[in-house]
Amino acid sequence: MVAHSGLITVMERAARKAGPRLRRDFNEVQHLQVSRKGPADFVSMADQRAEQTLFEELSRARPDWGFVMEERGEIAGAEGKGRFIVDPLDGTSNFLHGIPHFAISIAAEEQRPDGRWEPMAALVYQPLTDESFWAEKGRGAWLQDQRLRVSSRRDLSEALIATGIPFLGHGNFAEWSRIFGAIAPEVAGIRRFGSAALDLAWVAAGRFDGYWESDLNRWDVAAGMLLVKEAGGFITDYRGGDRAIDRNEFLAANDALHSKLHKLVAAALR
């Protein structure tokens, strides 16, 4: 079995502590107390409970670290220490509609000398399938103890691409439509499953050949980005640069497909 760091152990332990309750809540989804917090954006008691469990477990292991969390927001840590980026339930709408496609996403970030934060460890855990996708900077990406590699396909005509579709109150419909119009005629298929964290984990695992989406939060993508990179893939902004988080636009694939997708996207947005 592949050895991983104590940090990954901490993150996985926290996810597996929160996972069983999410599974139980999912099976009783019709009984969940749900409040509306924005256009087509729901938060459930399951979401809040999972976040509390993750916060408690991670804080116990790293008491001087900071947090960026979907519900609690940003919590500063001690100077010079890392921080956790936590999405306790990525795919909330799927969860609330009884669709079994959602995940817990945790990234551990360190601050660079220029002040920017970057992931050094990542975990995406699917409670229903018990799949644990994890990565450490410079040590590769893994599914449990199986090494992950991005797809080796080089032809768009064979490629299955994932995306997120804008919806009520979220996203740029015109921009997405232009990109879709450029990519769809060139590829074998496009899928929208509703969890950015799992989309990126599946790119890392070679299940999807590529991915694009914008208008996301840091907790949606921080872990998935590291998974893709450590699986040998590329993830950039639509311009092909390294400012995906800053520009809030994400394009991921292997080297050959990324180059082709980038040209299509750039032409569509020209």
CA-nearest of 105, 110, 104, 113 to 137 is 110
Q: At the topology level of CATH, where does 6-147 sit?
A: Fructose-1,6-Bisphosphatase; Chain A, domain 1 (3.30.540)
d(CA 177, CA 183): 10
d(CA 54, CA 13): 9
Quick check: helix, strand or coil at residue 69? Answer: strand
d(CA 133, CA 148): 9
> Which tens digits make up the pLDDT trace of 122-156?
999 999 999 999 999 999 999 999 999 999 999 99
CA-nearest of 92, 84, 79 to 59 is 84
Instruction: Assign domain 156-268 to a CATH class.
Output: alpha beta
d(CA 192, CA 194): 6
**Contact criterion met (CB below 8 Å) for 153 and 161:** no
pLDDT of residue 4: 73
> Which tens digits make up the pLDDT trace of 64-86?
999 999 888 999 999 999 999 99
Chain centroid, CA 179 distance in Å: 21
What is the residue extent of each domain of the chain?
Answer: 6-147, 156-268
> Which tens digits make up the pLDDT trace of 203-262?
999 999 999 999 999 999 999 999 999 999 999 999 999 999 999 999 999 999 999 999
